[in-house]
Amino acid sequence: MTEMPHKSKNLMSRMKLQTKLFAFLLAITFAGVLLKSDWPQLIHQSLCGCFSRDILPFIRRVEPFLSANNNISEEAFVWWTRLQDEKRDFSYYKATINKLFEIFPPNPTFGKPSTGRIRTCAVVGNSVNLKGSGYGRLIDMNDAIIRMNYAEIRGYEADVGTKTTHHVMYPESAVDLDDSTHLVLFPFKIQDIEWLIKARTTGFYSSRSYVQVKPKIRANNDLVMVISPAFMRYVHEVWLRKKKAYPSTGFMVLVAALHVCDQVNVFGFGADSDGNWSHYFGELINKSFKTGVHPGQEEYSVIQLLADKNSIKFYKGRNNKPN
Residue 246 bears catalytic tag? yes
Q: How far apart are CA 249 and CA 261, in angstroms?
A: 18
Give CA separation, 300 vs 58, 135, 281, in Å.
23, 20, 21
313 φ, ψ (degrees, to nearest 5): -110, 125
CA distance 217 to 215: 7
Choosing from 279, 280, 294, 315, the catalytic residue is: 294
Give phi and psi for 144, each to the nearest 5: -120, 135
Angstrom distance (rounded) from CA 38 to CA 75: 17
Please work out, in degrees rounded to the nearest 5, the angle formed at the alpha carbon of residue 310 by the alpha carbons of 308 and 314: 70
Task: Compute the Cα dihedral for 199, 62, 266, 189 and give only its sign.
Answer: positive
Instruction: State how far the Cα of 184 lies from the Cα of 65, in Å rounded to an integer.
Output: 9
Catalytic residue among 246, 280, 300, 315: 246
Dihedral Cα 12, 14, 15, 17, nearest 10 deg:
120
Measure the CA–CA gap between 32 and 233, rounded to whole angstroms: 12
d(CA 69, CA 78): 20
Contacts of 105 (CB under 8 A, 6+ apart): 222, 224, 225
Instruction: Tell me the residue type at 170.
Output: Y
Residue 218, amino acid:
R
Is residue 294 part of the annotated active site? The answer reads yes
- List residues bridging with 168 in a β-sheet: 148, 184
Q: Which residues are catalytic?
A: 246, 294
